[in-house]
């Protein structure tokens, strides 16, 4: 599996910054819950 890393990382390093993105549904769920949390350390 490690031998595949250069083949995957190489093209990723050549991407322009405006084409880089990410996907994390757990972050979306945590952000949505944060707005309605019962207790928070800091209220902004």
Q: Spell out the domain ranges in the chain.
A: 10-38
pLDDT at 32 exceeding the cut of 80: no
CA distance 44 to 41: 10
Q: Is the model more confident about 34 or about 10?
A: 10
Which residue matches tokens 């595949």?
4
Burial 1-40 (b: 16+ CB within 10 A, else e): eeeeeeeeeeeeeeeeeeeeeeeeeeeeeeeeeeeeeeee
Q: Is the model more confident about 11 or about 36?
A: 11
* Radius of gyration, CA atoms only, the chain: 18
pLDDT at 38: 62
Q: What is the pLDDT of residues 5-26, one digit of tens each?
A: 888 888 888 889 888 887 888 8
């Amino acid at each position: 599996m490690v031998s595949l890393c250069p083949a995957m990382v190489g093209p990723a390093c050549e991407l322009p910054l405006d084409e880089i993105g990410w996907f994390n549904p757990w972050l979306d769920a945590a952000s949505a819950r944060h707005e309605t949390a019962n207790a928070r350390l800091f209220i902004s």
